[in-house]
Amino acid sequence: MIGLDTNVVVRYLAQDDAVQSRAATRIIEHDLSAKEPGFVSVVAMAEIAWVLERSYGLSQRDVAGTIERMLAVDVLIVDCEQEVFAAMTAVKDGTGAFADALIAALGAKAGCVHTVTFDKKAARLPGFAIL
């Protein structure tokens, strides 16, 4: 298994740098396989969502669609896949931002009753409570 940093996945998705995008495409499409997958950490997933939205101007729904496609690819192992899926679903449903939904899902996985926040938008998500 090979770990994939945020910038490699983003270059693959964006295809906006001739040299780096070609290298990212080579590793993801040719070097990885179901037997030798790439690992994308939960931190990288949060960064990918943030970069696609903030730097590339994708809507949250488009980011959710990208994450959904990543979860379906057999050459990628996504850390905390169920929690990433739950966060992606919250974004698709329009109930919150990916990072906030991921924080709530990871808290629930850890057994938290809820996660306290000052963020009024995040507090609308299940699993959060306003402090």
Which is nearest to 62 in space by CA: 73, 49, 74, 71?
49
Domains of the chain: 2-130 (3.40.50)
Extract the tokens encoding 52: 């696609």
Full DSSP string of 7-70 = HHHHHHHH--SHHHHHHHHHIIIII--SSS-EEE-HHHHHHHHHHHHHTT---HHHHHHHHHHH
| Per-residue pLDDT tens over the stretch 22-46 | 999 999 999 999 999 999 999 999 9
pLDDT given for residue 96 in this prediction: 86
pLDDT given for residue 95 in this prediction: 84
pLDDT given for residue 94 in this prediction: 86
pLDDT given for residue 38 in this prediction: 98
Bridge-partner residues for 116, per DSSP? 129
The per-residue pLDDT string of the chain (131 residues; one tens digit each, 9 = 90 and over) reads: 999 999 999 999 999 999 999 999 999 999 999 999 999 999 999 999 999 999 999 999 999 999 999 999 999 999 999 999 999 999 998 888 999 999 999 999 999 999 999 999 899 998 999 99
Total-model pTM: 0.91
